Amino acid sequence: MTQPERDILTRRKVVLGGVAAGASLALARGGQARGQATPQPDAATQPGHLIEAAAVLEMLGEPSFRPVALAGDAAQAPGFIPGSQLVDWHEMELMDTVNDTAVTGWADNMSALFARVGLNRDDEIVIYDDGSLFAPRPWWVMRLLGYANVQVLNGGFPAWRQAHGAEAPAPASPSVASTPPVAADRRWEMLARLPEIVDHLEDPAWVLVDARTPEEYEQGHIPGAVNINFLRNVSQDGLPFWRPADDLRAMYAEAGVTPDRHVVPYCATGARSAVTDFTLRWLGYPSVALYSASWQEWDAKPETPKAKGGQP
């Protein structure tokens, strides 16, 4: 994790701590905290991406339901949806997109990671975080590997608490998956690799989205990339629910990120830009590929061009 990512995670936990306390007090009085109404489904968005806490409540007890908590370890998590398995997004970094062996080895390792916690290809998987917004990272990895039914809990575990969902003090004991995805299921078109980005830097049909902070962007970025901080995808007032689809479409269109272009999000290590990738797919963008190795790979290559300063 880079220092900016640590700072963002710390700030968001502080904010969410206050929000959660306020929400708990309001709910105890029989009401909802101001600004904490559960967002309504948007018919113009794609299914299989965001799921609301109310819908997850109805899935509890179903044999195929597999909740997945995102945390470094159980002690760091605020609580668990009953039956949850625990995964750590730090284990999902892809450092090298140039070497074919490195890329396939990474995918093999990811397949083994999810198989160890008992996730089968056709399970109904819901991934949630503690409000950090990093749940789209494993969502992207799992979809690339071939998992058929993976969704992100809108608002994370704080939204689950707001919905009065049952809680478990620890994750469930893992069991090995019996029918995980196989190599033939992998969707490699979801991954952008360094050589193809170099080849398309001047291609007007391509657009790169830098999901880091403006300060990081100004210090160095891929030439031609537009800067849209990943936090702009969600509400900054209360729990981190995704913003209305029309607002997000307008934000991206204003920056030239339109559905008729091939969109490549990146950040420092691929965690924050996975949120951008997820959001664009949710909005129905037909051609999106995450540059998962991101700036950590690009900046380390002396032969790749770099730019500094503000937006192009």
Q: At what angle do helices 136-145 and 271-283 cross, to 10 degrees?
A: 70
d(CA 259, CA 239) in angstroms, rounded, equals 28
pLDDT band at 238 (very low <50, low <70, confident <90, very high): confident
Instruction: Let me know how many helices (H) and strands (E) the chain has, helices first.
Output: 10, 8
CATH architecture of the domain with range 45-187: 3-Layer(aba) Sandwich (3.40)
Give residue 32's pLDDT. Answer: 35
Phi then psi dihedrals of residue 84, to 5 deg: -70, 145
Say what the pLDDT of residue 71 is: 83
In the beta sheet, which residues pair with residue 227?
Answer: 210
| Rounded CA separation 227/205 (Å) | 18
- Residue 25: in which H helix or E strand, if any? helix 3-28
- pLDDT category at 234 given cuts 50, 70, 90 is very high
Reported as a pLDDT band with limits 50, 70 and 90, residue 8 is low
Residues 6+ apart with CB under 8 A from 245: 42, 44, 45, 282, 283
* CA–CA dist 253, 125 (Å, integer): 31
Res. 251: pLDDT tops 60: yes
H helix intervals, 60-174: 100-116, 136-145, 156-162
Which segments of the chain belong to CATH 3.40.250.10? 45-187, 192-298
106-135: b (≥16 Cβ within 10 Å) or e = bbeebbebbbebbbbbebbbbbbbbbbbbb
CATH superfamily entry for domain 192-298: Rhodanese-like domain (3.40.250.10)
pLDDT band at 26 (very low <50, low <70, confident <90, very high): very low
Residue written as token pair 């729990």 = 239
Residue 35: which pLDDT band, with cuts at 50, 70 and 90?
Answer: very low
